[in-house]
Amino acid sequence: MTVSLLVPSSLCREAADKREATHKVGLVARAATVFRVDRVTIFPDSDGDRRWGGGFVSTVLRYAATAPYLRKEAWGTRDELEQVGVLPPLRAVSRTGSESQGSGSSRQGIVTEVGPDGRVRVNCGLQHPISLVDPTDVGLDEGERVTVRISSREPVRARIVDEPAPGFAVERADLSAALGREDAGLRIATSRHGEALTTERLGVLAGRVEDGMTVAFGAPERGLPAMLGIDEASVASADETGSDPAGFDRWLDTVPNQGSEVVRTEEAVFATLACLTLPR
């Protein structure tokens, strides 16, 4: 099961400054980690972009998804990362269920040096970079990120494995490309004009999301219908007719009877994923 989260490049359009924009992106990263999202995709909303666009959002998300012990080496100093001190800690757990500090743990690593005889030196947050066998056929490059499985710390025994690193991947892509992925699963658009998510409807959806889901969100004061140029009335009837011009399977109002005029994107992400990731 793959869970993908789609957020617009205009995510931070109403942020007053870089600090607020960074904090907003951090909350999305936090939600993605808590609910085990596999991939966060930033899709373009050029008409809604303001000062903090898709490049800023993707950079901060990638930084947040990088293990703290690798951030300095992986990112150095960048203007977009000036306020990353406000990011909440993610503390992503391994997808294999191993503990990050124990033997048998999986950790992110960065190749710091490519040596002879098919070996590389990898910084994976231990006291020093460690020398490991390159298991790939094409060869690893300096700066490449890998997943390291540590079986012992004293003495150090580890190997590079073909496993996803803890946390989520980040990419930038058009909305149509993200919805067209083979592992997209159930494609859900969130909007206050969609069907209200009720306990009955959630039960119907539960069986379908087991094969994966892709959930898309709009931006503050600029929802998905406005971004896509879709009439709000057609959104309300899309699920009944089975035909949606944007390519979604469902349009859902995941915060029905909202008490605020505007539900912020990061709030909607938490509210939506909390419901859709419930076990049957």
Task: Please provide the DSSP assignment of 179-209 as one string.
Answer: HT-TT--EEEEEEEEEEE--HHHHHHHHHHH
Vertex 132 angle, CA 126 and 138, to 5°: 130
Any idea of the CA torsion for 170, 173, 179, 180, to the nearest 10 degrees?
-110
What interhelical angle do 265-276 and 18-34 show, nearest 10?
0
pLDDT in tens, the chain (280 residues): 899 999 999 999 999 999 999 999 999 999 999 999 999 999 999 888 888 999 999 999 999 999 999 999 889 899 999 999 999 999 888 765 445 555 568 889 999 999 988 999 999 988 889 999 999 988 999 988 899 999 988 888 999 998 887 889 999 999 999 999 999 999 999 999 999 999 999 998 988 888 899 999 999 788 899 898 888 777 766 655 556 778 899 999 999 989 998 899 999 999 999 999 998 7
- Residue 235, pLDDT score: 79
Q: Does the pTM of the predicted model rise above 0.75?
A: yes
- Residue 86, pLDDT score: 97
Q: Which two tokens stand for residue 43?
A: 């899709």
Place of tokens 């025994």: 157
Separation between Cα atoms, residue 8 and residue 10, nearest integer Å: 5
Q: Which two tokens stand for residue 230?
A: 């879709």
Classify residue 194 by burial, with Cβ atoms within 10 Å: 0-12, 13-18, 19+: buried
- Residue 46, pLDDT score: 82
Q: Which two tokens stand for residue 248?
A: 């979604």
Separation between Cα atoms, residue 72 and residue 67, nearest integer Å: 10
Separation between Cα atoms, residue 240 and residue 250, nearest integer Å: 10
Tell me the DSSP string of 9-72. Answer: TTTTTT-SSHHHHHHHHHHHHHHHHHTT-SEEEEEP-TTT--SS-HHHHHHHHHHHHS-GGGHH
Short-list 96, 87, 91, CA closest to 24: 87
- Residue 240, pLDDT score: 56
